[in-house]
Structure 1
């Protein structure tokens, strides 16, 4: 049997976004439906990339396509909670990046849900992989956590 990992602490993330839950986010069980977490992740990462000038979703020649995702849940979040979404870049490849994302309920210290997704950056027109460079590379590098033991 695999041992369950403890949820990450806020200190495990470099970039933060606040997102307010909506009434419609709750499911019949009274908490955020699992698909809402993926929307929070996508909104947080893309909002950060757009605000930092790393991604131009309307006119840029490069777009990010999600090719892999996953999520692990530790605690419930429900409307009207505010969610602090922490972002860190776990890996930068030649044309891809893996983001790790934690959702924290209100002021909680430990993540209620932790997920990841991988963007492959492609040419907007051809949809062929396009190397990560320029401002995008700078922003991604700033959000990378140092390896354990490197301070």
Structure 2
């Protein structure tokens, strides 16, 4: 996915970096990238009205993530997180995530994020609700060979 550009993602969210995101090397520490993934994906679902993380009967649990880093980001940069769906199963969805620095078109980091939908009461996997499936389909692209998770 290193060749991916900002325009390849069907939804993009801006997230401001914070002073505390930088590590002793002067760039955003890798652990924060996963927070950016989580924020972008879940904010998208909340804004579309298909995630009620306080009272919903069905929620998505993160079961797998991965990230490859290509370019540094540092405070006070603004991170632009692009998301797209590459696979929708019965109870799981795979997102690809692109991290872009400020207004740059070149990808700084490429990752993936997998949710499995579960019944909140039982913790058991359950089919993705139709309304959620419809929202996910709106940002779905054909799966392509990616260096992430190969």
Residue 102 of structure 2 is aligned to residue 102 of structure 1: no
Of 79, 83, 86, which residue of structure 2 is paired with 1:83? 79
* In 2, Cα distance between equivalents of 1:31 and 1:147: 31
Matched with 1:71 is 67
TM-score normalised according to structure 2 size: 0.92
Shift of 1:147: 6.2
Aligned residues: 144
Of 121, 124, 140, which residue of structure 1 is paired with 2:120? 124
Of 47, 66, 70, which residue of structure 2 is paired with 1:51? 47
TM-score normalised according to structure 1 size: 0.91
Structure 2's unaligned 5+ residue stretches are 145-150
Contact kept in structure 1, 2:86 and 2:143, CA below 8 Å:
no
Q: Provide the aligned C-alpha RMSD in A.
A: 1.3
Structure 1's unaligned 5+ residue stretches are none
* In 2, Cα distance between equivalents of 1:76 and 1:147: 27
* In 2, Cα distance between equivalents of 1:147 and 1:116: 12
Contact kept in structure 2, 1:7 and 1:114, CA below 8 Å:
no
Contact kept in structure 1, 2:118 and 2:124, CA below 8 Å:
yes
Contact kept in structure 2, 1:26 and 1:32, CA below 8 Å:
yes
Matched with 2:147 is none
Counterpart secondary structure, 2:27? coil
Of 15, 26, 29, which residue of structure 1 is paired with 2:25? 29
